[in-house]
Amino acid sequence: MIDVRGISKSFMINGKSLPILELAEWHVEKGERLALIGPSGSGKSTLLHLLSGVMTPDRGEIWVDGQPLHQYSESKRDRFRAEKVGYIFQDFHLISSLTVKQNVELVVPSGWSSKQSKEELDHWFERVGLQDRQHHLPSQLSRGQQQRAAIVRALVAKPPLILADEPTGSLDWETAGDIMSLLLALCESENLTLLTVTHDLHLADRFPKRVQVQDLNEIHRREAV
Nearest Cα to 104, choosing from 80, 122, 90, 127?
122
Whole-model pTM: value is 0.92
Question: What is d(CA 154, CA 188) in angstroms, rounded to the nearest whole number?
Answer: 14
DSSP structural state of residue 3: E
| Cβ contact 20:10 at 8 Å | yes
38: left (phi over 0), alpha (psi -120 to 50) or beta: left
Question: What is d(CA 15, CA 28) in angstroms, rounded to the nearest whole number?
Answer: 35
Amino acid in position 1 = M
Print pLDDT tens along the chain (225 aa).
999 999 999 998 888 888 899 999 999 999 999 999 988 888 899 999 999 999 999 999 999 999 999 999 999 999 999 999 999 999 999 999 999 999 999 999 999 999 999 999 999 999 999 999 999 999 999 999 999 999 999 999 999 999 999 999 999 999 999 999 999 999 999 999 999 999 899 999 999 999 998 877 755 444 444
